[in-house]
């Protein structure tokens, strides 16, 4: 029923725990495709060991090409008759009832492109961590409504307007219909950081909303080897994503307006982070956020000015 695609690169340390969390699922009708992305440790050998012991798991290897390429490769090796696809990173852990809950939720909403749930950050040892951002989390979503940035009701579906402002989703906490991926297209391999954000955005634009549950379904592991730790790549990919979304082919005038306004608010909202730091007596981080706000707004003006007259930039 569910094809679980697991890209893996030098994650021998965590892969076993990830696969065991999959084997512990209350829903047993799944297949797992582990794609080793040219690791130089024992990742592939470990995946092969699990595959030899569990017929639902298959292990492949490819030359190092990035996580998106590994996910696309795994998707081509998955069973095309399975209606649901779940992308799970090789260092994350899903809760025992995660797949059952996500499938049940999605089956009860036949028009939805997918379903998603909450997640909690953990460290290398599995200890829970606080959210990195005080305001932007799955439980605290915001959306462009008219010309304003507003809070989203608890448990509301994830929409195009929300995801254009901020990436609230975790890969391993999201279940997608295979037909939605076929409509929106696979992973964009040119991204190193914002590839999941790009996929959610296209699915919400083209295939439909995601039904959400506030229940925690995944533990997202933070550790020094995370690909997201390269801040320069992250900033460049995020800016490229926001810039290209404003000119994405086929957007309506309203969707382009939402993309521009979301970009603007994403820059401006850092002043709220600055105020939060100041309230806790942390002056240096507050000043850093102020500087990022100024830099972000300057980039926004450079990116949006060639696209529309000044008076229409945020109209």
Boundary (domain end) residue, out of 29, 56, 91: 91
Indicate if 113 and 207 belong to the same structural domain. yes
Boundary (domain end) residue, out of 196, 229, 262: 229
Cα separation, 49 vs 57, whole angstroms: 10
pLDDT tier, 306 (very low <50, low <70, confident <90, very high otherwise) = confident
Question: What confidence tens digit (pLDDT) does each residue in 237-247 have?
Answer: 999 999 999 99
| Whole-number average pLDDT of the chain | 93
Least confident piece of the model among 37-51, 132-146, 156-170, 291-305? 132-146
> Is residue 33 included in any domain, yes or no?
yes
Give the mean model confidence (pLDDT) for residues 18-38.
98
Indicate if 110 and 222 belong to the same structural domain. yes
Indicate if 85 and 107 belong to the same structural domain. no
- Where are the alpha helices (H) located in the chain, listed in sequence order? 12-23, 43-53, 67-76, 98-107, 160-165, 178-184, 195-206, 231-245, 253-268, 270-279, 283-304
> What total of structural domains would you count in the chain?
3
Query: Tell me, what's the pLDDT at 310?
Result: 52
Question: What confidence tens digit (pLDDT) does each residue in 284-302 have?
Answer: 999 999 999 999 999 999 9
> Is residue 315 included in any domain, yes or no?
no
Closest by CA to 178, choosing from 211, 203, 205, 212, is 203
Question: What confidence tens digit (pLDDT) does each residue in 155-175 have?
Answer: 999 999 999 999 999 999 999
Task: Note down the domain range covering 212.
Answer: 92-174+184-229
Cα separation, 246 vs 242, whole angstroms: 7
């Amino acid at each position: 029923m569910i094809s679980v695609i697991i890209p893996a690169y030098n994650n021998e340390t965590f892969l076993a725990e990830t696969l065991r969390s999959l084997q512990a699922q209350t829903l047993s009708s799944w297949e797992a495709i582990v794609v080793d992305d040219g690791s130089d440790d024992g990742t592939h050998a470990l995946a092969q060991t699990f595959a030899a012991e569990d017929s639902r798991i298959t292990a492949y290897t490819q030359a190092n090409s990035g996580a998106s390429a590994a996910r696309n490769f795994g998707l081509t090796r998955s069973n095309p008759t399975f209606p649901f696809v779940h992308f799970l990173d090789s260092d994350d852990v899903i809760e025992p009832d995660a797949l059952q809950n996500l499938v049940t939720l999605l089956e009860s909403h036949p028009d939805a492109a997918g379903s998603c749930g909450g997640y909690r950050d953990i460290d290398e040892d599995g200890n829970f961590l606080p959210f990195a951002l005080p305001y932007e989390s799955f439980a605290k979503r915001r959306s462009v409504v008219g010309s304003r940035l507003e809070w989203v009701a608890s448990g509301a579906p994830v929409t195009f307007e929300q995801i254009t402002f901020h990436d609230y989703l975790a890969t391993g906490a999201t279940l997608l219909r295979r037909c939605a991926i076929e409509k929106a297209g696979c992973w964009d391999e040119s991204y190193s950081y914002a590839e999941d954000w790009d996929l959610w955005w296209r699915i919400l634009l083209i295939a439909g909303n995601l039904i959400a549950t506030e229940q925690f379904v995944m533990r997202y592991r933070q550790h020094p080897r995370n690909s997201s730790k390269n801040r320069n790549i992250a900033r460049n990919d995020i800016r490229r994503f926001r810039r290209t979304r404003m000119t994405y082919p086929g957007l309506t005038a309203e969707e382009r307006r939402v993309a521009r306004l979301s970009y603007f608010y994403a820059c401006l909202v850092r002043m709220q982070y600055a105020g939060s730091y100041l309230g806790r007596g942390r002056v240096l981080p507050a000043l850093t956020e102020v500087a990022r706000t100024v830099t972000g707004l300057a980039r926004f003006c450079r990116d949006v000015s060639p696209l529309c007259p000044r008076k229409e930039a945020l109209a």
